Structure 1
Amino acid sequence: MTKSQGTAQKQAKGLGARYVYDELKREILTLDLEPGAPLDETTLSERFAMSRSPIREALIRLGAEGLVVTLSNRSTLVAPVNLAEFPRYVEALDFLQRINTRLAARHRTDADIVAMEKLARAFDQACEGNDFLAMSASNRDFHMAVAEAGKNFYLARSYGHLLDEGRRILHMHFEFIQNSESDELLNSDHVDMIEAIRRQDVAKADQLAHDHTRQFHRRFVNFLAAKYDDDFDFERPFPT
């Protein structure tokens, strides 16, 4: 094998792993692959028509992001959504959302503001089109633009991991939000956040970021309550 042939094979392998990673990540975030679903390397290899090496590489990357878990018997599953830990998740999200937004208000540039405005419009357009995948992606991108404006790579990276985990929770209740009788549920705070960051009003940016987290928490709690049906009529006979 020539050196150029070997390089071409390595590039193809890299592209294959990236394709598998992108596809599986999309399916996990949109819940097409449900929490707890098995991810067998052999089955995935047949599905994507490639060797197990790029499959394994993609699964390792997804595992590093907390989207899949490998059990002691070496089997791999889509990571569960641990609702028992949801309050702790919200606490962490609130902290990172507030600190990154505060830093953005201190350190933002004009280019940062332009990027935020563009992504806020993308989120609004996704909402208008009822495109749930685009909604969660553009929402993440907007908040990451805020974090990048804060100029702290470490805080931004941690924030990004939390936002990715939260995308599955968002997808669980997007339909509930869209069908809600209250238009307020879909109102975006992004424009107000941008304005506070533009004015470099750290206290206002902090408050808006905190309110944004509380709104996310309230929406999900309302969704869980709405999914519980206690309207049973036990006096009425069951159909035969």
Structure 2
Amino acid sequence: MTRQFFVGGNFKMNPSSLEAKKALCTILNDADLDQNTEVVIAPPALYLLPTQELIRKDIKVSAQNCYVKTSGAYTGEISPAALKDAGIPYVILGHSERRTIFGESSEFVAEKTRAALDQGLSVILCVGETLEQREANQTSEVVEGQLKEVVKVVKEEEWSKIVIAYEPVWAIGTGRTATSAQAQETHAEIRKYLASAVSSAVAEATRIIYGGSVNKGNCRELATQPDVDGFLVGGASLKAEFIEIINAKRA
């Protein structure tokens, strides 16, 4: 099975003006992008709708987070039902910054994944280990533990709506990147786990993308790995080099 290459840009809280967002959209709108790659960008929540209006139609827009409830007294949270109503097709869940800074457990991430899927959203599900966990050879254990909670609440046929983003915490925003061999090893282990925990068909079809200081200098080598199906890009998605990352599979 050929899995469509996927490149996501997580803008986080950057940049902090609509004019800067417009400039980013203009760069992407004018670019010659690989049409065989699915491209998704995730601006801050305040700019989701303006970005969706500004960006070319072959680039999808994603929220960076959502809550487990569709409505109610949850000040500051984003409803998955509201995202669906607004025409936002994707949401990022389980990012390491949500897990570490905001204390989200794997169980809570799974609960949010269930809520997003119930509204018809597609999910970019982030997993990954800390440097201490990698040095203790706990990468597989940690990542499988994070995925296990999602496996419990997701039906087999719903995995077509999930993209798994492996993001080693020690490589996010640090300039350090997992080697292509390290990324491939972990992606292969994730696929093996999906085969045993869900099904071989889901394992084969699910896209597993890499995130962690991806840039124009390392994207092409990473993209050659058989189990690396794309990238979730942080800082580099705010720069013109994002175009080169999107085109990493282009000959």
Query: What interval of TM-score do these two structures reach, taking the shorter chain for normalisation?
Result: under 0.3
Q: Kindly name which structure, 1 or 2, has the bigger radius of gyration based on alpha carbons.
A: 1
Q: Which has the higher strand share?
A: 2
**TM-score calculated relative to the size of structure 2:** 0.25
Q: Which has the higher helix share?
A: 1
